[in-house]
Amino acid sequence: MCGIIGYIGDKQAQSILLNCLRRLEYRGYDSCGIAVAANAIEVYKDEVRVEALGKASPQFDGTVGIGHTRWATHGEPSQANAHPHLDCTGNIAVVHNGVISNFQALKQQLTSEGHNFVSETDTEVIPHLIEKYYDGNLEKAVEAALRDVEGSYAIIVLMKGESKLITARKDSPLIIGVGDRESFIASDVPAILDYTDRVIYLEDGDIGVVTQGNIKIRRDDKEVAWAEDKILWSVEEAQKAGYEHFMLKEIHEQPKVIRNTLGEYTRDTEPVIDLAGMRDTGIASMLMLAAGTSYNAALIGKYIMEELLRIPVRVEIASEFNYYSYIPARTVAIAITQSGETADTLKAMKRLKEVRGRVIAITNVVGSTATRLANQTVYTRAGPEISVAATKTFVAQLMVLYWLAMAYSKADARRLAALLMELRQLPSKVQQVLDNEAEIMEQAKYLAKYENVFFIGRGINYPVALEGALKLKEISYIHAEGLAGGEIKHHTLAVLSHKTPVIALLARDNTYEAMLTNIKEIKARGAPVIVVAEEGDGAIEELVDSVITLPRVDTLFSPVVNVVALQLLAYYTARERGCSIDFPRNLAKSVTVE
C-alpha cells in the first residue's frame, strides 16, 4: 500500500528520493511522485512506475524533499490523485499513508472557505488545513490541522522556505532514519536501508520536526527524548542477489530462515519468553487471528497446538472476528502478521485488548504497530520479504508455532526429543525440496495451460492446500481453490473434468486411506491429478497422472516441506504465464486499510 519517504541533508534530494521509492515498490502501488524544495516547491508525479518517473521528471535542485508511492483508495490511479498534494498557494506539499475518514466534511468546509481542490483524494484536505492554520509557524499549523482530521495517517509536510520536514503518525507506521548530516523519514525500513541502519520508531500521536542536524519529537504537547535502534536487516537481504525475482530468492532462503528462527528460540532448553503466563498457570484455550497467508499459518498452528498442548484452539479471520458481537473476556490470543501492519489484524487486537484479552504477536517487523499493541511479541527471523507473496515469513511463522507448542507441550519426553531432532533436520529437508526444483518446473509448465485448479488436503495438510491455492491464484491469476479432501463429494465433484487439474497432498498419516479414496473419486470424473507425496510411495504412481516426490518427515512437519513445493509450483506456473510475480496486480504487501 502507500509508501512515504522524506529526505533532508547535504545531498541533492531528488535521486535519493527516487532510490528510496524504488525500495518501497514492493508494498504495491499504482502511481508515484516527488516534491523537492528548490526556489519553489517543485512537484513531479504520475500514474507510472518509479523508474519511468525518474526518467521523465525534470532535474530539481534542492536538498529537502518528499516522495510517495500510491495504492489507490479514494479516486482512481491518475496524475491528479498521485501524491504529493499541494495547498492553494503551492507552497505546502504533503505525502500521506492512511485514510482520512472525515475528509468529505472537511473538504466541503474548506471549499466553502475558498479552497480549491484538484484531486479526488482524502489526503488533499491536509495541505489545505495546514494552509488555513498557518500563521508563520509550520509545526503549530500541522498540529492544528491534525486536530481536525479523523482516521489514520503517517504524513510528511514540506514547505517552501522552511529547511525542515514535519512528520506525524496515527495508526500508520512511521520511522525516522538517522544518518550523518542527513535524516530520512519513511513508512518502513527497506526504504532507507541503502543509507543508514539507525532508526527511530515513532509512536501514535508523535509529531516530529526534522532539520538537517536535529530531530525533535513531541508527544502530548511535550518534547520527548528519543532512542535510536539498530536495524538488523542488511541491504543485501533486500536485493535480488542474482535471482530473477525476489520471490524465488525468498523461497530459496528458507533453509536459512528456519535455522535463524529456530536458533533464536531453541538455544536454551527453557522457553525464552513465558507465553501469556502459561508456564505457571496454564491456559484452557487459545484464539489465533490473522489474514491471508498468515491465517493459513494459524490454521496449521491449530493442529500443532492441539496435538502438543492438548487445549482447544480457535482460529479466526481477523476481518470477520471484528464483526463478532461476543468476545469472551480475558481471551488469550496469538495474532500472526508478517508486516505487523495489517489493519484487520490490528483492529482485532484492539478489540481483544478492550475486553482485557492477552495478545501475543508473531511478526517479522521490529517496531511494527502489532508489537506496540501486543502484550508480548515473538519475532520471526526471516529478514526483509520484498515479494508481495509471502513465502519465507510463512515458514518462519510455522517455526515459531512449532517452538511455542513444543516449549509448553504435554507430550512425553521421548516424543518431544524425536520432534526436536526432526525440527533440526528441517533445513536440510527443505533444501532437498529446493534441489528438486526442475521436476516441479515441469509440473508448472503443464499447469500453466489451465484456468481452474483445485488443491486438496486433509488434517494438518488441509491448510496447506488452502495456501497452495492462495499462492497460485495470487501470482499466476489462475482461479484456484483449496479444499478439505472430505468436502469435494459435497460440491466440487460437480465441476471436475479434464479441464480442472487437482493437486492432492498425500500424507503418510491417519488421513492416507481417505485421501486415496478422494483421489480415486476425482480420477473417475476425468480430472488430472498431481499428487504431492513423500518418497517411497510407489503405489500412488499407478493411480495418478504425476507425482511430486518430497523427503520423508514427521506428519507434524509435513506442512513445511509441502508448502515449499507448492510455492515453487506457483512461482514457475506464474513465470510460464509471464506474470508480474513480485508485484501481482491490485495487491499490496502491507494491507493497511480495512
Active site (catalytic) residues = 2, 589
All 3 cell numbers of residue 7?
529526505
Tell me, residue by residue from 140 to 169, as one string, x for binding to ligand F6R by CB under 6 A and - for no binding.
Answer: ------------------------------
Alpha helices in 355-436 (DSSP H): 369-373, 392-407, 413-435
- Minimum CB separation of residue 463 from ligand F6R in Å reads 13
- Minimum CB separation of residue 470 from ligand F6R in Å reads 6
Q: How far is Cα of residue 290 from the mean position of the Cα atoms in its chain?
A: 11
Q: CB-wise, 294 or 555, nearer to ligand F6R?
A: 294
Q: Which residue has the cell 481542490?
A: 117
Q: CB-wise, 318 or 547, nearer to ligand F6R?
A: 318
Alpha helices in 221-342 (DSSP H): 246-252, 254-265, 278-281, 292-309, 318-321
Q: CB-wise, 294 or 511, nearer to ligand F6R?
A: 294
Residues 6+ apart with CB under 8 A from 586: none
Amino acid letter at 147?
A: R
- Minimum CB separation of residue 216 from ligand F6R in Å reads 31
- Minimum CB separation of residue 43 from ligand F6R in Å reads 31
Contact region with ligand F6R (CB under 6 A), list: 19-27, 149-157, 257-265, 288-296? 288-296
Contact region with ligand F6R (CB under 6 A), list: 246-254, 292-300, 319-327, 440-448? 292-300
Task: Check binding of 294 to ligand F6R (CB under 6 A).
Answer: yes
Q: Which residue has the cell 522556505?
A: 161
Measured from each CB, the residue nearest to ligand F6R is 292
Q: CB-wise, 294 or 409, nearer to ligand F6R?
A: 294
Integer angstrom CA distances of residue 391 from 470, 498, 570: 11, 30, 11
Q: Which of 62, 65, 98, 292 binds ligand F6R (CB under 6 A)?
A: 292
Cα angle vertex 567, ends 565, 571, to 5°? Answer: 115
- Minimum CB separation of residue 507 from ligand F6R in Å reads 23
For residues 317 and 295, the answer to whether their CB atoms sit within 8 Å is yes
Cα angle vertex 348, ends 344, 353, to 5°? Answer: 150
Number of amino acids touching ligand F6R (CB under 6 A): 13
All 3 cell numbers of residue 267?
538455544
382, 383, 388, 391: CA torsion to nearest 10 = -20
Residues numbered 472 to 501 that lie near ligand F6R (CB under 6 A) are 474
Distance between CA atoms of residues 37 and 43, nearest Å: 9
Distance between CA atoms of residues 541 and 538, nearest Å: 6
Integer angstrom CA distances of residue 134 from 91, 122, 145, 167: 11, 20, 9, 16
Strands (E), 507-561: 529-534, 546-550
Q: CB-wise, 93 or 291, nearer to ligand F6R?
A: 291
Q: CB-wise, 336 or 529, nearer to ligand F6R?
A: 336
Q: Which of 142, 157, 189, 291 binds ligand F6R (CB under 6 A)?
A: 291
Q: What is the DSSP letter of 585?
A: T
Q: How far is Cα of residue 528 from the mean position of the Cα atoms in its chain?
A: 34
Contact region with ligand F6R (CB under 6 A), list: 72-80, 115-123, 291-299, 402-410? 291-299
Distance between CA atoms of residues 172 and 100, nearest Å: 12
Q: Which of 19, 81, 97, 293 binds ligand F6R (CB under 6 A)?
A: 293
- Minimum CB separation of residue 393 from ligand F6R in Å reads 7
Nearest to 316 by CA among 347, 274, 276: 347
Q: Which of 395, 505, 565, 591 binds ligand F6R (CB under 6 A)?
A: 591
Q: Which helix (H) or strand (E) holds 139?
A: helix 138-148
Tell me, residue by residue from 427 to 466, as one string, x for binding to ligand F6R by CB under 6 A and - for no binding.
Answer: ----------------------------------------
Q: What are phi and psi of 268, to 5 degrees?
A: -100, 160
Q: CB-wise, 158 or 569, nearer to ligand F6R?
A: 569
- Minimum CB separation of residue 483 from ligand F6R in Å reads 18
Residues numbered 298 to 337 that lie near ligand F6R (CB under 6 A) are 337
- Minimum CB separation of residue 288 from ligand F6R in Å reads 13
Residue 278: count of CB within 10 angstroms of its CB: 19
Q: CB-wise, 124 or 474, nearer to ligand F6R?
A: 474
Q: Which helix (H) or strand (E) holds 312?
A: none
Q: CB-wise, 319 or 409, nearer to ligand F6R?
A: 319
Tell me, residue by residue from 243 to 282, as one string, x for binding to ligand F6R by CB under 6 A and - for no binding.
Answer: ----------------------------------------
Side-chain half-sphere exposure of 312, counting CA atoms within 13 A: 3
Distance between CA atoms of residues 544 and 532, nearest Å: 11
Task: Check binding of 573 to ligand F6R (CB under 6 A).
Answer: no
Q: CB-wise, 91 or 342, nearer to ligand F6R?
A: 342
Contact region with ligand F6R (CB under 6 A), list: 68-76, 122-130, 286-294, 326-334? 286-294
120, 123, 127, 133: CA torsion to nearest 10 = 110
- Minimum CB separation of residue 405 from ligand F6R in Å reads 20
* Pairing of β 85-86 and β 92-97: antiparallel
Residues 6+ apart with CB under 8 A from 227: 200
Contact region with ligand F6R (CB under 6 A), list: 33-41, 164-172, 246-254, 289-297? 289-297
- Let me know if 490 is exposed, middle or buried by CB neighbors in 10 A (0-12, 13-18, 19+): exposed
For residues 288 and 425, the answer to whether their CB atoms sit within 8 Å is no
Task: Check binding of 172 to ligand F6R (CB under 6 A).
Answer: no
Q: What is the chain's alpha carbon radius of gyration, rounded to the nearest angstrom?
A: 25
All 3 cell numbers of residue 515?
485421501
Q: Which helix (H) or strand (E) holds 458?
A: none
Residues numbered 334 to 373 that lie near ligand F6R (CB under 6 A) are 337-339, 342, 345
Q: CB-wise, 266 or 294, nearer to ligand F6R?
A: 294
- Minimum CB separation of residue 330 from ligand F6R in Å reads 24
- Minimum CB separation of residue 387 from ligand F6R in Å reads 8
Residues numbered 387 to 416 that lie near ligand F6R (CB under 6 A) are 389-390
- Contacts to ligand F6R by CB under 6 A: 291-294, 337-339, 342, 345, 389-390, 474, 591
